[in-house]
Amino acid sequence: MSSLFSPDLVRSKTGIILMNLGGPAKQDEVHDFLLRLFSDGDLIPLPFQKYAAQVIAKRRTPKIKEQYNQIGGGSPIRKWTTEQGTAMEKILDEISPETAPHKHYIAFRYAHPLTPEALAQMKEDGIERAVAFTQYPQYSCTTTGSSMNELYRQLQEWDPERKMKWSVIDRWHVHPGLVQTVANHIEEGLAKYPADKRDGVIILFSAHSLPMEIVNKGDSYPSEVAATVEAVMNKLNYKNSYKLVWQSQVGPRPWLGPQTNKAILGLGENGYNDQLLVPIAFTSDHVETLFELDLEYGEEAHEAGITGLTRAESLNADPVFLQAMADIVKAHLKETAPEGSSPISKQFSIRCPGCTNETCMNTRDYFRQ
């Protein structure tokens, strides 16, 4: 018999849903991860999307399985997000007692736990105050935009009576805690070079690229990534030379450059042997850091005779970053308290220039209220 005070009757007050891309935790999840990814018209609009997604996912699965095989069998995104969310909720309970208790939920776009799984749990927990907290520091219609559209669609089914009151953290690309963590990781990375070489190390900030079609529509991601880079370099007093480069392009169409691997080789040819790669648009390790940067580009550099290529740590479970996550949510909860400002940011409420996606407008209207 459960008493009135049993723990299962204690309801969480504030739910924070951490939205991210996700990744296959195991080899046999790779196909479905790719199928969901290529089925997403907000990320890759394809003619005959459903059919094309099936064909491309099937064709691509063996190659991508092998990449995950080489990084230990699966993506570590879920492990890191769980660790980050658990630490964040503990810090929040201490620094924001007025909105406690806090509970995190994970909503990945292409891997488990998917948005419906997070919403089912939130409903079971009786969450009434909910925060959609994107785990992409910089906003792109292809990433945070896609996650928000999915959240909007799923909420029609999971909460038709709109019992949950939502607000949205849609970007945090120049938050001091983010900037400080990246700057610390750069300092640690530079410290691994011999003292007489340290000042000559080139810092290469690497972000996932975007197709030029999306850039040309005015997507805010490139300028927000650049703003993060400038804030970090400012924090470091511009102590080293640096460059912003773009990785992971897929398919034959033009993508935003310069490409990370080409920049590494080009700099090497010009005599810059010591290069520190810094992942700048993702909050944890994933296949693009562990496989692409460390193994693939590392090997290409080695073959070209570049011996000084290293990588700064990802944010992962760095305590400075965990504190930053809690600070971002605390400030947001304060700002959006009943007497506070709008539940969505000004940038999120404005339609992106060139956007013709009707769902985006409906999503904005839904979360604005």
Please report, as ranges, the residues that interact with ligand L6N33NVT according to CB under 6 A: 21, 23, 34, 37, 43-44, 60, 64, 75, 77, 136, 140, 142-143, 208, 210-211, 214, 221, 250, 281-282, 286-288
For ligand L6N33NVT, which is the closer residue by CB, 254 or 340?
A: 254
Phi/psi for 276 (5° steps) reads -110, 110
CB neighbours of residue 189 within 10 Å: 18
C-alpha radius of gyration, the chain, whole number: 21
CB neighbours of residue 240 within 10 Å: 17
In the complex, minimum distance from the CB of residue 211 to ligand L6N33NVT, in angstroms, rounded to a whole number: 5
What percent helix, strand, coil does the chain show, rounded to 5?
Answer: 50, 15, 35
208 belongs to the catalytic site: no
For ligand L6N33NVT, which is the closer residue by CB, 262 or 334?
A: 262
Peptide bond into 258 cis (omega under 30): yes
In the complex, minimum distance from the CB of residue 304 to ligand L6N33NVT, in angstroms, rounded to a whole number: 23
302 belongs to the catalytic site: no
In the complex, minimum distance from the CB of residue 224 to ligand L6N33NVT, in angstroms, rounded to a whole number: 10
For ligand L6N33NVT, which is the closer residue by CB, 27 or 273?
A: 27
Which residue among the candidates 102, 104, 173, 175 is catalytic per the annotation?
175
Residue nearest to ligand L6N33NVT (CB): 23
For ligand L6N33NVT, which is the closer residue by CB, 246 or 272?
A: 246
Three-state DSSP class for 179? helix
How far is CA 48 from each of CA 141, 146, 193, rounded to the nearest angstrom? Answer: 21, 19, 51
The Cα angle at residue 344 between residues 83 and 99, in degrees rounded to 5: 50
How far is CA 323 from each of CA 145, 162, 170, rounded to the nearest angstrom? Answer: 25, 31, 18
Question: What is the Cα–Cα distance from 133 to 130, expressed in whole angstroms?
Answer: 9
Question: 267 in the Ramachandran plot: left (φ > 0), alpha (ψ -120 to 50) or beta?
Answer: alpha
For ligand L6N33NVT, which is the closer residue by CB, 171 or 330?
A: 171
In the complex, minimum distance from the CB of residue 173 to ligand L6N33NVT, in angstroms, rounded to a whole number: 11
In the complex, minimum distance from the CB of residue 138 to ligand L6N33NVT, in angstroms, rounded to a whole number: 7
What amino acid positions are annotated as catalytic residues? 175, 327
